[in-house]
Chain A
């Protein structure tokens, strides 16, 4: 492994234990390390030996000159903020509203970097979490998994993922689920990977607004996925079966960062087709006033019907 990249903020490092492969941030100053430990206690460690092969990506925290800021409109896709990723010889070049980064795609023995103008920006959720989201999306796809814009709730040790665009009601549903005793994986972006017994949803550090303010399922917990729910607002509580092609199309829209990437779009289509073939997928319309128990009764009935088909 190489040493610190050019223009580090300091000499500290922090290992983010992500499902699959983690990220070891090097070149941090003491304040950055402290802030990361406070914000992500279930995921950050300083004790991992980054020199070991196979643990993941070494990422140099870097000071960059000048502002990378560009108009926010340049980073909008389907109403969501999405950093711009471009394939380059070294991997993925990432330009966001307030940071730049690069990471290798396949050979993780090569280091990546994450650069900001001001040191305190590096530990802000919109920087560190967006970097991790994009990195996780590419890593997930490489093992036939996905990162999905969705609310992830855990009930009876099974994960229910509610995918939908902004305004579909993900955070509202997450709040209702939390109040009803469900575990919360994330109200924003969830990581789904194939496991030995089927697809699993994993706890991730990029939890969305809800996860940053309320207790979340921590560590490297993973839960079997009960099914996928395509969520939208409606005039009444209603569950419908959905054709596989329509399900793939809607999940494609909900697969940020990689869904318009020419080099991986076909892989993503294949992964989503497999996912839809193996998991129950239903469409759910609900109103703001619908109760969580009512919603879950409808969802479980929909899943049962799907399994029976």
Chain B
């Protein structure tokens, strides 16, 4: 993570509605009708993004909840953020 990405805050787009179903999550994008399923880590990330978060806050949360190293959490987080960005799920500020 570089300095700029450390300061960036990320949150869920206001166009997204989501719900936990079992251990996974279902997301719907109201503007384009696209529907996504995310696994439990993705669901955790989505749940955190109801308010703006930095990458570090998100990675810390993943590391704590899923008991993985911070490096592993940061790497997983980047994968999720790329996927969520591709689906226009996120807003960056």
Contact = CB atoms under 8 A, between A and B. Distances in A.
Interface of A: 77-78, 243-246, 248-250, 252-253, 259-262, 265-266, 269-270, 273, 276
B24 A245 contact: yes
Given A259-B28, A269-B28, A248 B33 contact: no
B19 A266 contact: yes
B33 A249 contact: no
A260 B19 contact: no
Contacts of A77: 33
A270 B17 contact: no
Contacts of B31: 260
- Chain B, interface SS category: strand
Contacts, number: 52
B75 interface: no
B61 to A, nearest CB: 21
Given A252-B35, A253-B35, A245 B21 contact: yes
B30 to A, nearest CB: 5
A286 to B, nearest CB: 23
Nearest to A261: B30
A257 to B, nearest CB: 11
A265 B21 CA distance: 15
A160 to B, nearest CB: 23
Nearest to B15: A262
Nearest to B21: A245
A276 B22 CA distance: 11
B19 A269 contact: yes
Interface residues of B, number: 16
Pairs of residues from A and B, 5 with the lowest C-beta to C-beta distance, nearest first: A245-B24, A269-B19, A265-B17, A245-B21, A249-B35
Contacts of B18: 269
Contacts of B35: 249-250, 252-253
Given A245-B37, A246-B37, A259-B33, A252 B21 contact: no
A46 to B, nearest CB: 39
Given A260-B30, A262-B30, A249 B37 contact: yes
B33 A260 contact: yes
A196 B55 CA distance: 49
Given A252-B35, A269-B28, 15 more contacts: A244-B21, A244-B22, A244-B24, A245-B26, A249-B35, A253-B33, A260-B28, A260-B33, A262-B15, A262-B17, A262-B30, A265-B28, A269-B18, A269-B19, A276-B21
Contacts of A261: 30
21 contacts: A78-B33, A243-B37, A244-B22, A245-B22, A245-B26, A246-B37, A249-B26, A249-B35, A249-B36, A250-B35, A252-B35, A253-B35, A259-B28, A260-B31, A262-B15, A265-B30, A266-B17, A266-B19, A269-B18, A273-B19, A273-B21
Contacts of A244: 21-22, 24
A148 to B, nearest CB: 15
B33 A270 contact: no
